[in-house]
């Protein structure tokens, strides 16, 4: 028998006895061959005892891996990799956020997608506010600025509950002791930026005798004067029914010098019994540095006006209240945030607040009327003299 005949016979014998011959050949600077001869009857036993990954180093320090796996393991591995990859992609996607679970207690759920603006929202947005907070997302911990100017706000001191407004939209309910919303300072929220500023909002006081009120018997339900001096600007105020100064249920809009102190204001003094706890009330205030009536001093130019439920205060019956010159105020833009539910964390409004907007221009009576009607389905009705009346809220 020749040498080639013997080699052929040996190869036929090996194939007959060892049908599961696996040879891995790798070429580097020197060819290496790693071979495993696996008899068929011992397949399962051998795989439980042989490492799944074998490392071989060549002379060029390259690492070479020969993987040994049972039958069908390659297909299973692909399935595992594919499944694992799809999970990772979903987890990394910014459009999907998983709710917190016990295995991931630190995760924070993203706020639920906000519904499209309501018809009332559309009315406000058509007049180009500098800030518009619908106040319909207290459970998310923040409110989106629907004006598009990025003045996103944050709830602090707790999470307010929610309630329905007269038109069915949602508003935030503040506890009157710790909960408030804060908006970072922005020049568009300051009077001197354009010389004209309007703020508006719907409030529902759940009491008319506030527990956490000032010594003068009022609470601030909104304002830009968080620390008083040196960045005080303006304020929205509501008095309790019984006050030391005899201002029952009065709504007021104030403006201050940066050092705070006494502020100039406009007052809307309701007649006795006009409002009850739980009534929704629409309040608008405007500051105008471009107009100075004869009743005011031009040394401190400008006026303040206030509307409640679409009815404007009577400036003639109250001047010099309503004049910037009343307490010699020259407003300046400061760094104070805008806060809602309080102003300086020393008085606290208890009740609901919704649809807060600030404009760097004035609203007309027609625009104010349209908002009141959109919310209530009614036309504004009432009058102001020394005191004011409105149709039943």
Q: Tell me the percentage of the chain whose pLDDT exceeds 90.
A: 69
Spell out the domains of the chain, with CATH numbers in brackets.
3-67 (no CATH), 119-390 (2.60.120.200)
Element (H, E) at 270: none
Cβ atoms of residues 202 and 310 within 8 Å: no
pLDDT at res. 339: 98
- Compute the distance between CA of residue 381 and CA of residue 390 in angstroms, rounded to an integer: 6
Helices marked H in 58-212 — which ranges? 73-92, 119-125
Instruction: List the beta bridge partners of residue 161.
Output: 173
pLDDT at res. 104: 33
pLDDT at res. 101: 32
pLDDT in tens, 82-123: 333 332 222 222 233 333 333 333 333 334 445 567 899 999
Burial tier of 24 (Cβ tally within 10 Å: 0-12, 13-18, 19+): middle
Q: Is the pTM of this model over 0.75?
A: no
**Mean pLDDT per segment of 10 residues, for the chain of length 393 residues?**
51 50 36 36 36 36 34 33 29 30 34 66 98 97 97 96 98 98 98 98 98 97 98 98 96 98 97 96 98 96 98 94 98 98 98 98 98 97 96 69
pLDDT at res. 36: 34
Place of tokens 């739980």: 278
- Compute the distance between CA of residue 128 and CA of residue 372 in angstroms, rounded to an integer: 18
Instruction: List the beta bridge partners of residue 283.
Output: 201, 308
């Amino acid at each position: 028998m020749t040498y080639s005949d013997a080699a052929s016979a040996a190869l036929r014998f090996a194939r007959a006895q060892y049908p599961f011959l696996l040879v891995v050949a790798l070429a580097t600077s020197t060819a290496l061959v790693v071979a495993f001869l696996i008899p068929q009857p011992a397949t399962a036993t051998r795989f439980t005892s042989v490492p799944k990954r074998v490392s071989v180093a060549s002379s060029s320090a390259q690492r070479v891996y020969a993987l040994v796996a049972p039958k069908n393991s390659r297909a299973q591995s692909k399935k595992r990799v594919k499944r694992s990859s799809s999970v990772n992609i979903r987890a990394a996607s910014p459009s999907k956020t998983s709710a917190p679970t016990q295995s991931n207690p630190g995760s924070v759920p993203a706020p639920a997608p906000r519904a499209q603006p309501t018809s009332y929202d559309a009315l406000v947005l058509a007049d180009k506010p500098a800030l518009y907070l619908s106040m319909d997302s207290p459970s998310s911990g923040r409110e989106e600025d629907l004006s598009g100017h990025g003045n996103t706000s944050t709830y602090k001191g707790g999470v307010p509950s929610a309630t329905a407004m007269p038109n069915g939209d949602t508003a935030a309910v503040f506890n009157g002791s710790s909960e408030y919303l804060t908006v970072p300072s922005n020049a568009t929220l300051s009077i001197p930026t354009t010389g004209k500023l309007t703020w508006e909002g719907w409030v529902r006081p759940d009491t008319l005798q506030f527990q956490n009120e000032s010594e003068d018997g009022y609470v601030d339900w909104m304002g830009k004067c968080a620390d008083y001096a040196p960045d005080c600007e303006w304020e929205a105020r509501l008095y309790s029914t019984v006050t030391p100064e005899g201002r029952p249920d009065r709504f007021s809009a104030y403006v201050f010098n940066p050092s705070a102190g006494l502020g100039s204001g406009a007052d809307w003094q309701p007649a006795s019994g006009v409002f009850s706890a739980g009534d929704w009330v629409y309040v608008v205030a405007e500051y105008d540095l471009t107009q100075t009536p004869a009743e005011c001093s031009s040394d401190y130019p400008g006026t303040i006006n206030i509307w409640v439920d679409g009815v404007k205060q009577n400036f003639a019956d109250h001047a010099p209240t309503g004049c910037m010159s009343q307490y010699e105020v020259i407003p300046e833009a400061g760094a104070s945030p805008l806060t809602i539910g309080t102003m300086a964390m020393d008085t606290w409004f208890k009740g609901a607040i919704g649809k807060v907007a600030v404009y760097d221009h004035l609203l007309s009576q027609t625009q104010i009327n349209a908002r009141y009607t959109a919310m209530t389905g009614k036309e504004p009705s009432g009058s102001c003299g020394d005191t004011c009346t409105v149709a039943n809220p």
